[in-house]
Amino acid sequence: MAGERQDDCLFCKIVAGEVPADVVRETGTTLAFRDINPQAPTHVLVVPKVHYRDAPSLAAADPQVTADVLREAGEVAAEDKVDGTGYRIVFNTGSGAGQTVWHAHAHVLGGRGFNWPPG
Ligand code: 5GP
Ligand code: ZN
């Protein structure tokens, strides 16, 4: 069921502490941890503790937690001091856009330059 823990979901396991992660921030509704395969000096994933398959599904079901994820993305950028130069908040949505983990997550990328349009 949407919103409930999925036993086969990697990020649900990280939220539950069953898979280790380099956690940088935690709130009642969100967890932020460093990406295992960083694509920038700062590359942190911010996930809702509840399980939804992608960000729009989370937003439809729980606007408050969606806002929590975005606020925490900004806090991560500030803590890593990449907010002054600019950073990316990315929600890959669907396999064609590169989504590989089917638990909503924001990528926070910073500490280098970025091209537009993205690759
Ligand atoms: P997506 O491709 O779904 O947008 O993003 C999934 C991200 O999760 C990828 O950037 C990938 O490197 C990261 N990832 C996959 N497995 C793990 C893991 O076990 N731990 C951490 N910290 N990140 C992971
Ligand atoms: Zn999950």
Active site residues: 105
Does the pLDDT at position 70 exceed 80?
A: yes
Does the pLDDT at position 73 exceed 80?
A: yes
Residue 119 lies in a domain: no
Does the pLDDT at position 2 exceed 90?
A: no
Q: What is the dihedral of CA 118, 11, 52, 106, to 10 degrees?
A: -30
Q: Decide whether any atom of ligand 1 lies within 6 Å of the 92 Cβ.
A: yes
Q: Whose CA is nearest to atom 4 of ligand 1?
A: 99
Residue 30 lies in a domain: yes
Mean predicted confidence (pLDDT) in 82-95: 98
Residue 97 lies in a domain: yes
Instruction: Residue 75: give the domain boundaries.
Output: 10-110
pLDDT band at residue 58 under the 50/70/90 scheme: very high
Residue 4 lies in a domain: no
Residue to mutate, 23, 25, 90, 100, ligand 1, most ligand atoms under 8 Å from C-beta: 100
Residue 28 lies in a domain: yes
Give 109's DSSP letter.
E
Residue 63 lies in a domain: yes
As for how many domains the chain has, the answer is 1
Q: What residues pack around ion ligand 2 (CB closer than 5 A)? A: 6, 9, 11-12, 51, 103
Residue 67 lies in a domain: yes
Residue 116 lies in a domain: no
Asked if residue 48 has a cis previous peptide bond (ω within 30° of 0), the answer is no
CATH classification at residue 50:
3.30.428.10
Residue to mutate, 15, 42, 45, ligand 1, most ligand atoms under 8 Å from C-beta: 45
Does the pLDDT at position 53 exceed 70?
A: yes
Element housing 33 (H / E): strand 30-34
* Contact status, residue 48 vs residue 62, Cβ threshold 8 Å: yes
Q: Give the pLDDT of residue 1.
A: 58
* Contact status, residue 102 vs residue 44, Cβ threshold 8 Å: no
Mean predicted confidence (pLDDT) in 83-100: 97
Judged by DSSP in three states, 45 sits in: strand
**Closest C-alpha to 110, from 45, 42, 46, 36:** 42
For all residues of the chain together, what is the average pLDDT? 97
